[in-house]
Amino acid sequence: MSKIEVTGLRKSYVERRRRKRFLSQCKQYEDCQVLDGITFSIPAGTFACFVGPSGCGKSTMFRIVSGFERPSSGTVLIDGQEVTGPGSKHVCVFQEDGLFPWFTAAQNIAMGLSKSSSSDVAKKVEDYLELVGLSGFGGHYPHELSGGMRRRAEVARALITNPEILFMDEPFGALDFVTRLQMREEMVNVHQMFDMTILFITHDIDEALQLGDRIIMLSDRPSRVAWDIRLDDPHPRDLSTGHLSRLRKEIYYRMGLHVAL
Ligand SMILES: Nc1ncnc2c1ncn2[C@@H]1O[C@H](COP(=O)(O)OP(=O)(O)OP(=O)(O)O)[C@@H](O)[C@H]1O
Ligand SMILES: [Mg+2]
């Protein structure tokens, strides 16, 4: 059975438009369709990357699949149960900084463990700080950490809750190139260590090719699944030769980018 089964997902928003020729006063309401029948199925333990043009509805789709928003039509099943709201099995990491600025890194990470005793919490937080390479920084507040360290703390805060599904919406988009490469490597390790299904949105085709067991490419809005790619290449992956290099070119081509890469 699939871990996540998405069938015929459609989503429209009502868009308000002013029309100048009616003295800027007349507002017109138009139905704006974002998702147009998204269908895919993800087996447990898959690292699935989602790519697609900006504004095509990737974040909208994530909010629906993670239960924070309702679709206009279509269904989302997790472990065969329809998703009707946020659940305890999954956790989300978004592009924006999500740490509480008034808590230290350790206190932020401990937030998922409120029911454990304080000595258990301290030990576990220390383990997760080490896992993401932040040993010794638990007492630092977010403003005392670099962007990459804050992302690591957020990944640790997500992992410590032991989620079955981890949703990541462009989590490394704001980081510099080298830090992004390091975070990619860490995500490969995290995925190999934990028995977890990861859904990961990225604008970066190379990131998707480095990380994904699946790459699901969405079309322009109203979006559909344009291409569903399965990858079983071992890590670390070399994108400069062989079929990954050809696949990379083909993805760029299908996205309408005909530049030599
Ligand atoms: N709450 C909302 N009300 C009205 N329109 C919305 C709402 N949320 C999203 N949209 C519209 O839906 C479309 C898709 O937005 P979404 O953020 O899902 O795109 P995206 O693929 O994640 O884009 P990006 O790659 O830039 O993050 C956009 O045109 C956006 O304006
Ligand atoms: Mg988005």
Phi-psi region of 242 (alpha: psi -120 to 50; beta: other; left: phi over 0): left
Q: What is the pLDDT of residue 27?
A: 58
- Residue 199: which of 54, 80, 108, 94 has the closest Cα? 94
> pLDDT band for position 30 (50/70/90)?
confident
Binding-site residues, ligand 1, Cβ < 6 A: 13, 34, 52, 54-60
Q: Which tokens in the block code for residue 55?
A: 């504004």
Residues of the chain with CATH 3.40.50.300: 4-89+163-254
User: Strands 197-201 and 47-51, how do they pair?
Assistant: parallel
In the reported structure, the alpha carbon of residue 158 is separated from the centroid of ligand 2 by a whole-number distance in angstroms of 19
Nearest CA to ligand 1 atom 5: 13
Nearest to 112 by CA among 168, 166, 160: 160
Percent of the chain predicted with pLDDT > 70: 92
Of all residues in the chain, the percent with pLDDT exceeding 90 is: 73
Is pLDDT at 15 greater than 80 in this prediction? no
pLDDT value of position 18:
59
Q: What are 34-77's pLDDT values in tens digits? A: 999 999 999 999 999 999 999 999 999 999 999 999 999 999 99
CA distance 193 to 235: 14
Q: What is the dihedral of CA 173, 174, 178, 179, to 10 degrees?
A: -100
DSSP string, the chain: --SEEEEEEEEEEEEEEE-GGGTTT-EEEEEEEEEEEEEEEE-TT-EEEEE--TTSSHHHHHHHHTTSS--SEEEEEETTEEP-S--TTEEEE-SS--S-TTS-HHHHHHGGGTTS-HHHHHHHHHHHHHHTT-TT-TT--GGGS-HHHHHHHHHHHHHTT--SEEEEESTTTTS-HHHHHHHHHHHHHHHHHS--EEEEE-S-HHHHHHH-SEEEEE-SSSB-EEEEEE--PPSSP--SSHHHHHHHHHHHHHTT--S--
Give mean pLDDT, residues 205-222.
Answer: 96
**163-188 average pLDDT score:** 91
Cα 138 to middle of ligand 1, angstroms = 35
- Among 59, 94, 168, say which to mutate for ligand 1: greatest number of ligand atoms within 8 Å of CB: 59
Q: How close is the Cα of 60 to the center of ligand 1, in Å?
A: 6
* Closest residue to atom 25 of ligand 1, CA basis: 54
Reply yes or no on whether the pLDDT at 16 is more than 90: no
Q: What is the pLDDT of residue 25?
A: 52
pTM of the shown model? 0.91
Q: Which ligand is nearest to the CA of 63?
A: 1
Please tell me the distance between residue 52's alpha carbon and the centre of ligand 1 in angstroms: 12
Query: Could you tell me the distance, in angstroms and rounded to a whole number, from the CA of residue 21 to the centre of ligand 2?
Result: 33
Nearest ligand to the CA atom of 218: 1
Structural domain 4-89+163-254, CATH architecture: 3-Layer(aba) Sandwich (3.40)
Tens digit of each residue's pLDDT (9 = 90 or more) over 239-254 = 998 999 999 999 999 9
Question: Looking at the CA of 52, which ligand is closest?
Answer: 1
